[in-house]
Amino acid sequence: FGYDHRFEAYVPKDRRLFGYFALPVLVGEEIVAALDLKTDRQNGRLLMQQWSWVGAGKSARGAGRKDLKRRIEDELHRFQKFQLGD
C-alpha cells in the first residue's frame, strides 16, 4: 500500500507520529489516513485522538480531501454503532 505502519503504543509519546493506537484507513485501494481512536464507553462515544493524512490522503486537496473525510466519517459513525452496540 506504500505505507509503513508502526504500532506506536510502545513508542515514547514524544516520538509518536500518529498516536498511541493509530490504525491505517483504507479507502478503495489506498491507505489515506491513520486514525488514533479511543472508546468512551461511559458516554457512548468514539473519540478521535488524532487524525493524520497519509499516502493519497496527504496529497489530496480541496474537494478530493473533503470527499475522503466524509467517506471516512460515515464509516466511523457505523463503526461507533457496532463498537458501542447502538
pTM for the whole structure: 0.86
* Residue pLDDT, tens place only, 48-61: 999 999 998 999 99
Does 2 reside within a domain?
no
The residue assigned the cell 480541496 is: 62
Does 33 reside within a domain?
yes
Residue 34 belongs to domain spanning: 8-84
Does 1 reside within a domain?
no
In this structure, are residues 54 and 31 in contact, taking their beta carbons and an 8 Å threshold? yes
* Residue pLDDT, tens place only, 7-46: 999 999 999 999 999 999 999 999 999 999 999 999 989 9
Does 72 reside within a domain?
yes
Q: What single string gives the DSSP state of each residue in 3-21? A: -----GGGS-GGG-SS-TT
Work out how many domains the chain is built from and give that number: 1
